[in-house]
């Protein structure tokens, strides 16, 4: 298939490379052209304009920072008008469910199919093809996209348009809160005189074990906050969750607390750390930085 990938950032680069390795014809675009040019050696065709990248595409994948930028690229930059009506848009960005439904409606007016398909698993999952992919939209569109989605990991059709984004918000609520409590627990143990690495080892395999403990907990032990998923992105997702909760009349006090904690960390200069960098904010509050 001819596939266009719009957005070659932390996730777009390894995902674009996997498409090339799978034998697809891959056209790529990024606002900063040099980021897209990194995929040329993998066989991707690089474009300076997104409208050129999507011409005659079978599937267009968007991997952009937020819903406003997705809308800008699709509609203000002429991408929706440039792609054929037989095209399927798969938005793998993390945006608000309401934005996904709006984009789908505007594309459907042009007879273009749409799926919202955000992912979880970070750059490690993108590199290894083990991402969890949460897909909203028509079942027929999901079946059409499945051979491509399988290149990235495990895809699950969770409901109508917007349901993929809603599931991603649930994922990020759990991730954000779990990172916070793992950080707080490890710091408590360190303050009390225990060795953080040994604490993590001791509770591995018990009821408190989790992938967050293993991956992000290890980053905390090593004080390695090189960004794989940034604090700023985690905050964006929590704010999207709170906005969605407000729209549907749902009280989410736990998510609200962690939204505040991530916001305060970012106010203190931590925006570009990995989201496990909430550890740094909690350490600073306790004079342990």
35 touches 8 (CB < 8 A): yes
DSSP assignment of the chain, as one string? -EEEEE--STTHHHHHHHHHHTT-EEEEE-SSHHHHHTTGGGTPEE-SSHHHHHTT-SEEEE--SSHHHHHIIIIISSHHHHS-TT-EEEE-S---HHHHHHHHHHHHTTT-EEEE--EESHHHHHHHT-EEEEEES-HHHHHHHHHHHHHHEEEEEEESTTHHHHHHHHHHHHHHHHHHHHHHHHHHHHHHT--HHHHHHHHTTSTT--HHHHHHHHHHHHT----SSBHHHHHHHHHHHHHHHHHHT---HHHHHHHHHHHHHHHTT-TTSBGGGHHHHHHHHTT--
Q: For residues 27 and 79, is the Cβ–Cβ distance under 8 A?
A: no
Catalytic residue among 168, 198, 200, 236: 168
198 has catalytic annotation: no
Catalytic residue numbers read 168
């Amino acid at each position: 298939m001819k596939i266009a990938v719009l957005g070659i950032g932390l996730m777009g680069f390894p995902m674009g490379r996997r498409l090339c390795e799978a034998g697809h014809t891959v056209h790529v675009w990024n606002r900063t052209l040099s980021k897209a040019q990194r995929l040329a050696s993998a066989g991707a065709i690089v474009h300076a304009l997104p409208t050129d990248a999507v011409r005659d595409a079978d599937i267009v994948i968007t991997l952009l920072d937020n819903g406003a930028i997705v809308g800008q690229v699709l509609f203000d930059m002429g991408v929706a008008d440039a792609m054929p009506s037989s095209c399927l848009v798969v938005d793998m960005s993390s945006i608000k469910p309401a934005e996904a439904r709006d984009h789908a409606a505007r594309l459907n007016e042009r007879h273009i199919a749409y799926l919202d398909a955000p992912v979880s698993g970070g750059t490690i999952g993108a590199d290894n093809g083990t991402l969890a992919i949460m897909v909203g939209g028509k079942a027929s569109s999901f079946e059409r996209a499945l051979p491509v989605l399988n290149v990235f990991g495990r895809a699950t059709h969770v409901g109508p348009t917007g349901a993929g984004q809603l599931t991603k918000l649930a994922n990020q609520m759990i991730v954000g809160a779990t990172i916070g409590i793992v950080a707080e627990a490890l710091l408590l143990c360190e303050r009390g005189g225990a060795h953080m690495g040994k604490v993590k080892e001791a509770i591995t395999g018990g009821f408190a074990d989790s992938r967050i403990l293993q991956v992000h907990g290890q980053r905390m032990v090593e004080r390695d906050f090189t960004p794989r998923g940034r604090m700023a992105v985690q905050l964006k997702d929590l704010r999207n969750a709170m906005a969605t909760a407000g729209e549907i009349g749902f009280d989410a006090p736990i998510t609200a607390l962690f939204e505040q904690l991530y916001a305060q960390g970012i106010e203190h200069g931590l925006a570009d750390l990995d989201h496990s960098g909430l550890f740094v904010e909690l350490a600073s509050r306790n004079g342990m930085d």
